[in-house]
């Protein structure tokens, strides 16, 4: 179905109209320009005087709207001893505000036929609502309310503390993959590096949160000058923008001290650790330090990941799972971070098979990438499969909003997904060899070897 987009003829005139009679500078709207989003759509960029960024993409193909709020805060913004607060507030934000009792946020969304959720990672936290177009005003009202009026008291903190502690027990302490992944990040970066501590936080820190800690975190990071609102779908700017102006315009910006970029890692030698776990087979979690998301090298690493683990004909999957039949489960990925992330693999061996056998094959495949050109037909197939995945990510209104929010927060470009598409298309055989040689070095690798408990 063709996309339908109708823009306000003169956004500057609309801004002047909306600002007429507005005395508070926090509530004044400024139009900052238009950003193409693919061939048929574009994003209008607006900003309130209090710093709130608003990215609006009109898409009238279906009567639905996706409303995202991205905050520039994740686990790397935390401090030692207070890890996990960004994730903790992902939970807290669904609790009561001074205007709404506990549970009322979800009840109102369900009554409106909407869907809501949230996510947190190293660089960001975001909240979203997908709902019928006529209910967009509800999303504006609820998100502005919890940005400024969340109730942060002993009762709320203690309730969510137990929820998050239980989540950590299930996702990390009782889960071999979660435990190994946590150990891997700590090994690769060091526990003092913000990329080296878990987004969910250390258990001792979760148990030690105080109301003062939570209130300070909320007052600092949950503010209009630290947020971007993304609205995608069947909306009319002349209806939507006055709602945003009215609900967010009275909110004051916070005082945020700029955070320096995390220190670059200086790993020069392979790092190894061993875990014992009640599991029937050996497992491997391994990773190499990778490029920042915005770099072209990151796009090449995504192609290598797809080449190795993406489909049934992927190289590692074919050798380890299908031909040698020594691996039962194989996963791979490349962290999409503002600063350097990890290119990682997870392997679960079949019973009574040594993990070293799989590691030998991985070493062979690294050498193969560096010394041999990937056949053009194989590279073209991998690139086509990767491109199809990217296009699928922006097929829905929520997918578009998510990619816009991610691009804006991590790279500064809300249309970065199309930059990445072009980068993927121009990856060459030489690029694969160059990037493999640069990043997949033994000295840049960390390995966590999981052995069954009781094994000699």
Q: Give the span between the Cα atoms of 407 and 68, in whole angstroms.
A: 13
Contact 359, 447 (CB under 8 A): yes
Q: What is the pLDDT along the chain (456 residues), one digit of tens a residue?
A: 445 565 666 899 999 999 998 888 899 999 999 999 999 999 999 999 999 999 999 999 999 999 999 999 999 999 999 999 999 999 999 999 999 999 999 999 999 999 999 999 999 999 999 999 999 999 999 999 999 999 999 999 999 999 999 999 999 999 999 999 999 999 999 989 999 999 999 999 999 999 999 999 999 999 999 999 999 999 999 999 999 999 999 999 999 988 888 888 889 999 999 999 999 999 999 999 999 999 999 999 999 999 999 988 999 999 999 999 999 999 999 999 999 999 999 999 999 999 999 999 999 999 999 999 999 999 999 999 999 999 999 999 999 999 999 999 999 999 999 999 999 999 999 999 999 999 999 999 999 999 998 765
The structure tokens listed for 151 are 């109730």
Residue 414 three-state SS: coil
- For residue 225, what are the CA distances in angstroms to 34, 71, 137? 20, 9, 21
The structure tokens listed for 118 are 């949230």
Contact 98, 437 (CB under 8 A): no
Fold agreement between 11-248 and 271-452: yes
Q: Name the DSSP class of 107.
A: H
Q: Give the span between the Cα atoms of 244 and 25, in whole angstroms.
A: 15
Residue 37 three-state SS: strand
> Whose CA is closest to 338, among 109, 72, 92, 81?
72
The structure tokens listed for 178 are 């979660």
Helices (H) and strands (E) in the chain, counts: 16, 12
Residue 84's Cα: distance from chain center in Å?
Answer: 15
Q: Give the span between the Cα atoms of 178 and 172, in whole angstroms.
A: 4
Parallel/antiparallel/unpaired status of strands 64-71 and 115-120: unpaired
- For residue 298, what are the CA distances in angstroms to 190, 289, 415, 428? 22, 11, 17, 14
Strand boundaries in 278-403, DSSP class E: 283-289, 327-334, 342-349
What's the burial of 20, exposed, middle or buried (CB within 10 Å: 0-12/13-18/19+)? exposed
CA dihedral 423, 75, 68, 169 (to 10 degrees): 110
Domain ranges of the chain: 11-248, 271-452
How big is the chain, counted in residues?
456
| Domain 271-452: homologous superfamily in CATH | Metalloenzyme, LuxS/M16 peptidase-like (3.30.830.10)
Contact 193, 265 (CB under 8 A): yes
Q: Give the span between the Cα atoms of 261 and 283, in whole angstroms.
A: 33
Pick the CATH number of 11-248 from 3.30.830.10, 3.10.50.40, 1.10.357.10, 3.30.390.10: 3.30.830.10
pTM for this predicted structure: 0.95
């Amino acid at each position: 179905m063709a996309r339908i987009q109708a823009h306000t003829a003169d956004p500057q005139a609309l801004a002047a109209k909306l600002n007429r009679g507005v005395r508070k500078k926090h509530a004044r709207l400024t139009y900052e320009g238009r950003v193409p989003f693919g061939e048929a759509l574009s994003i209008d960029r607006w900003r309130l005087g209090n710093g709130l960024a608003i990215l609006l993409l009109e898409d009238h193909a279906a009567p639905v709207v996706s409303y995202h709020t991205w905050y520039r805060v994740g686990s790397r913004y935390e401090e030692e001893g207070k890890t996990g607060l960004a994730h903790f507030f992902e939970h807290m934000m669904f609790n009561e505000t001074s205007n709404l009792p506990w549970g009322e946020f979800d009840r109102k969304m369900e009554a409106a036929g909407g869907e809501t959720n949230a996510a947190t990672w190293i660089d960001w936290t975001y909240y979203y609502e997908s709902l019928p177009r006529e209910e967009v005003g509800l999303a504006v009202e609820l998100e502005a309310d919890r940005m400024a009026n969340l109730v942060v008291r002993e009762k709320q903190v203690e309730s969510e503390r137990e929820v998050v502690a239980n989540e950590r027990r299930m996702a990390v302490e009782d889960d071999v993959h979660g435990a190994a992944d946590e150990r891997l990040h700590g090994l690769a970066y060091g526990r003092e590096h913000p990329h080296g501590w878990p987004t969910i936080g250390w258990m001792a820190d979760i148990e030690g949160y105080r109301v003062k800690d939570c209130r300070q975190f909320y007052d600092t990071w949950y503010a209009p000058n630290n947020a971007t609102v993304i609205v995608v779908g069947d909306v009319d700017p002349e209806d939507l923008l006055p709602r945003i102006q009215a609900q967010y315009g009275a909110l004051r910006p916070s005082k945020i001290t700029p955070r320096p970029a995390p220190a670059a890692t200086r790993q020069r030698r392979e790092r190894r650790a061993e875990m014992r776990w009640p599991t029937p087979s050996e497992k491997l979690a391994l990773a190499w330090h990778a490029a920042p998301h915005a770099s072209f090298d990151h796009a090449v690493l995504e192609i290598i990941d797809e080449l190795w683990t993406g489909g049934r004909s992927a190289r590692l999957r074919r050798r380890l799972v299908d031909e040698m039949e020594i691996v039962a489960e194989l996963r791979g990925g490349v962290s999409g971070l503002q600063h350097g992330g990890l290119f990682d693999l997870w392997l679960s061996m079949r019973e009574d098979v040594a993990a070293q056998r799989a590691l030998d094959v991985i070493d062979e495949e690294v050498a193969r990438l560096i010394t041999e050109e990937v056949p053009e037909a194989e590279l073209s197939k991998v690139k086509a499969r990767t491109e199809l995945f990217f296009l699928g990510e922006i097929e829905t209104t929520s997918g578009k909003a998510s990619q816009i929010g991610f691009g804006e927060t991590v790279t500064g470009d809300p249309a970065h997904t199309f930059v990445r598409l072009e980068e993927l298309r121009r990856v060459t055989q030489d690029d694969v060899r160059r990037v493999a040689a640069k990043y997949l070095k033994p000295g840049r690798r960390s390995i966590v070897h999981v052995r069954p408990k009781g094994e000699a």
